[in-house]
Amino acid sequence: MSAILVLYSTVDGHTLKICENIGGFVERAGHSATLARVEDAGTVDVAQFDKIVIGASIRYGKHRPSVFEFIEANLPLLDSKPNAFFSVNIVARKPEKNRPETNPYLRKFLQKTPWRPRLLEVFAGRLDYPRYRPLDRMMIRFIMRITNGPTDPSTVVEFTDWQRVASFARTICEM
């Protein structure tokens, strides 16, 4: 049985939902899972865990700075344990951009950090126009328009492939 730390960085809460799903899976497999926001990782004894997973969402083309700050502060520890990283973004709704090797945001993440996670994944997120603030709604609609995505401001659609999330969680258990 492994103690697994699942850290997350989320803007609208969908990355947390994915992390909760992963946590539930690993607990059903007999491991323990602790979820924490990346921003709160300083209150957690990261060294006590056997495995570390980080999930981070994209907003306006970027992962949040706190993700990179955590990695920089904990790189030797991360490298000393089985570890994984996944990115959550809407562009991953497209089949040609839904794999670690084809997703532009995951590739950009790897260019910005010296960390080389042992396991990488990318998941499509959730589009929820009614929940967004007016400026965010406008900007995201613009992005969707230029990427041929849904633009109706009443649209709520979850693009996440939950079978892939389960497969990722299974691989984490086996690391």
Concatenated DSSP letters of the chain: --EEEEEEE-SSSHHHHHHHHHHHHHHHTT-EEEEEEGGGGGGS-GGG-SEEEEEEE-BTTB--HHHHHHHHHHHHHHHTS-EEEEEEEGGGGSGGG-STTT-HHHHHHHHH-S---SEEEEEE-EEEGGGS-HHHHHHHHHHHHHTT----TT-EEE---HHHHHHHHHHHHH-
pTM of the model: 0.94
pLDDT at residue number 168: 98
112 plus 166 within the same structural domain: yes
Query: Which parts of the chain sit beneath pLDDT 50?
Result: none
143 and 64 together in one domain = no
pLDDT at res. 155: 93
34/101 same-domain check: yes
| Same domain (yes/no): 35, 80 | yes
What pLDDT score was predicted for residue 60?
84
Same domain, 64 and 147: no
pLDDT at 147 (0 to 100)? 87
Q: Note whether 78 and 108 are same-domain residues.
A: yes
Confidence (pLDDT) at 61: 86
The predicted pLDDT at position 5 comes to 98
- Per-residue model confidence (pLDDT) at position 92: 94
Number of structural domains (the chain) is: 2
> Which residue range is the domain that position 29 belongs to?
3-125+160-174
Q: Are 22 and 105 in the same domain? A: yes
